[in-house]
Amino acid sequence: MVQINLPQNSKVEKGKFFKDKTGSKNIRKVNIYRWDPSTGENPRIDTYEVDMDNCPSKVLDLLNKIKNEIDPSIAYRRSCAHGVCGSCAMNMDGKNGLACTKPHSEIKGDINIYPLPHLKVLKDLIGDLSTLYKQYESVEPWLKTTSKTEKENIQSKEDRAKLDGLYECIMCACCSTSCPSYWWNGDKYLGPAVLLQAYRWIIDSRDEDRKERLKKVADELKLYRCHTIMNCTNACPKGLNPAKAIASIKKMLATS
């Protein structure tokens, strides 16, 4: 259901202010969403003054700098730092993306960092993605065949090309958590990330379960809650197009 306001326990309060101690002249203010599960308090926004003269270019570098030099208590996910693992997905400057590939010079004014939108927060910038993973499992993201052949299952170059723009997805959840339909119906609507994956297996020429896959996804809530808002494509840090993938599933259903 559409719930515009945040619940009472989620209302964001003003937090602490960490004043610059380096005396640098190149200072930027960074506002970060904080929530500590060990206290019973509401989430808050802590503000950090960061010396930008000694800070590498990406938002993740900025977070690392804050964690290393100012406040070690801040929690966020990160791993590869090269836009491949999808761990450091978060909301920066009102838009989802990977902190490791987003340059902070692209952000004007104060830098606002929030967890991915409309998720249960586990701590600070870490959101709970278990629903999304369950939905991912529900599309059975593996090759399914019934016929038994002794030979290698060969795919033509043309058929392989159909997977381009789909297989690159790193499941960072930037798209799904940017989607208002997913915010309001996240328990039933599969969301752009999972639907893109569903399409990736539907379109694979080696898969022999296409009909069943299509039948399974053809659901008022699972699929047709997509209203082409396009936030997903706008958010994708890998430049993929989940909205187009969803439209392709709808088109396949309408023409089959």
Q: How far is CA 231 from CA 34, 125, 179, in A?
A: 25, 21, 6
Give the tokens for residue 45.
């926004």
Selected from 95, 162, 216, 238, the binder of another protein by CB under 8 A is: 95
Contacts of 241 (CB under 8 A, 6+ apart): 165, 233
Cβ-based nearer residue to another protein, 60 or 125: 125
Rounded to the nearest whole angstrom, what is the least distance from the CB of residue 153 to another protein in the complex? Answer: 28
d(CA 151, CA 154): 9
d(CA 247, CA 39): 45
Rounded to the nearest whole angstrom, what is the least distance from the CB of residue 234 to another protein in the complex? Answer: 5
Rounded to the nearest whole angstrom, what is the least distance from the CB of residue 162 to another protein in the complex? Answer: 14
Span near another protein by CB under 8 A; candidates 67-75, 77-85, 99-107, 231-239: 231-239
By CB under 8 A, is residue 110 in contact with another protein?
no
By CB under 8 A, is residue 218 in contact with another protein?
no
Rounded to the nearest whole angstrom, what is the least distance from the CB of residue 133 to another protein in the complex? Answer: 15
Element (H, E) at 49: strand 44-51
Q: How far from chain centre, in Å, is Cα 122?
A: 16
Per-residue interface string for the shown chain with another protein, residues 127-166, x marking contact by CB under 8 A: xx--------------------------------------
Cβ-based nearer residue to another protein, 100 or 235: 235
Selected from 27, 81, 229, 253, the binder of another protein by CB under 8 A is: 229
- Spatial contact of 203 and 22, defined as CB atoms under 8 Å apart: no
Rounded to the nearest whole angstrom, what is the least distance from the CB of residue 185 to another protein in the complex? Answer: 13
Give the single-character DSSP code of 69. Answer: I
Cβ-based nearer residue to another protein, 120 or 211: 120
By CB under 8 A, is residue 12 in contact with another protein?
yes
**Phi/psi at 18 (nearest 5 deg)?**
-105, 105
By CB under 8 A, is residue 87 in contact with another protein?
no
**Phi/psi at 152 (nearest 5 deg)?**
-65, 140
Angle 87-88-89 from CA coordinates, rounded to 5°? 95
Selected from 37, 56, 103, 141, the binder of another protein by CB under 8 A is: 37
- Spatial contact of 87 and 80, defined as CB atoms under 8 Å apart: yes
Q: Between residue 164 and residue 193, which ones bind another protein under the rule CB under 8 A?
A: 178, 180, 183
Task: Tell me how crowded residue 1 is: count the other CB atoms within 10 A of its CB.
Answer: 4
Residues in the site for another protein, rule: CB under 8 A?
4, 6-7, 9-10, 12, 33, 35, 37, 40, 42-43, 91, 93-95, 112, 114-122, 127-128, 178, 180, 183, 227-231, 233-234, 241, 243-244, 247-248, 250-251, 254
